[in-house]
């Protein structure tokens, strides 16, 4: 069990999916001897997709070094493709971080920064296969670990991701106790929470709509990444 001080640095951005962040953050809050930092361009409140804001605690220029680098998802992740300051921030943090992590489409920000090339990773099911554009290996699991990369699938999987991270850092006993403390024992009212359980036609329609909406931005960002690596 590791009880050394732990710095968790989270990249905030406009139109972040709040549960992608707040689900894991509730688990992070119970990490022993850990501090969570929320980084963005300024300390101004950052709007979420839920209509309310989260206030950053630090900036991309004055960031503390991360032991855990974490990127939540949301529509705003695709806007990060053209934000070189944010992508450079991810690269600099990743150079020394022990764990490089994401939930939902946060994996696309990591991928655009070149941090998932050759790694197995997951994301929200509607966008998952587009990770291939960046040289990542898409895996349709709720949580995927490949070396020091841990990625969670869509939205609610952030709690699972954070508990997996807790077990990696502190051991199973502390992770189990955190799960008990937050009473994470889901019993959803509908057995309809994954594409494997939903109407295949509806699933395909959503995948197609997501692809049509995001494909050009993903392809442009992937081409830019590949050009920079040559």
CA neighbor of 10 nearest in space, from 26, 2, 1, 228: 26
Neighbours of 22 (CB within 10 A): 16
The dihedral built from the CA positions of residue 56, 70, 131 and 202, taken in this order, carries a sign that is: negative
* Dist CA 123 CA 129 (whole Å): 9
**Tokens standing for 153?**
């699938």
Residue 45's alpha-carbon distances to 22, 23, 84, in angstroms, are 15, 19, 21
First-last CA distance in the chain: 42
Q: Which helix (H) or strand (E) holds 148?
A: none
Active-site residue flag, 104: yes
Query: Which of the residues 10, 11, 94, 104 is marked catalytic?
Result: 104
Q: Which residues are catalytic?
A: 104
């Amino acid at each position: 069990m590791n009880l050394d001080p732990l710095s968790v640095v989270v990249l905030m951005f406009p139109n972040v999916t709040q549960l992608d962040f707040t689900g894991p953050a509730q688990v992070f809050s119970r990490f022993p001897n850990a501090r969570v930092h929320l980084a963005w361009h300024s300390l101004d409140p950052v709007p979420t997709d839920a209509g309310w804001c989260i206030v950053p605690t630090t900036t991309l220029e004055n960031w503390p070094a991360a032991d855990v680098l974490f990127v939540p998802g949301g529509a705003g992740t695709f806007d990060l493709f053209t934000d070189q300051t944010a992508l450079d921030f991810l690269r600099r943090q990743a150079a020394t971080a022990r764990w490089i992590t994401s939930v939902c489409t946060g994996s696309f920000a990591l991928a655009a920064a070149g941090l998932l090339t050759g790694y197995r990773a997951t994301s929200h099911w509607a966008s998952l296969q587009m990770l291939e554009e960046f040289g990542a290996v898409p895996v349709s699991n709720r949580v995927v670990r490949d070396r020091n990369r841990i990625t969670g699938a869509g939205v609610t999987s952030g709690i699972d991701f954070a508990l997996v991270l807790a077990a990696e850092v502190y051991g199973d006993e502390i992770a189990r106790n955190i799960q008990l403390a937050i009473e994470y024992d889901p019993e959803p009212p509908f057995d309809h929470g994954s594409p494997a359980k939903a109407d295949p036609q509806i699933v395909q329609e959503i995948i197609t709509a997501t692809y049509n909406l995001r494909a050009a931005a993903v392809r442009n960002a992937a081409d830019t990444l590949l050009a920079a690596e040559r």
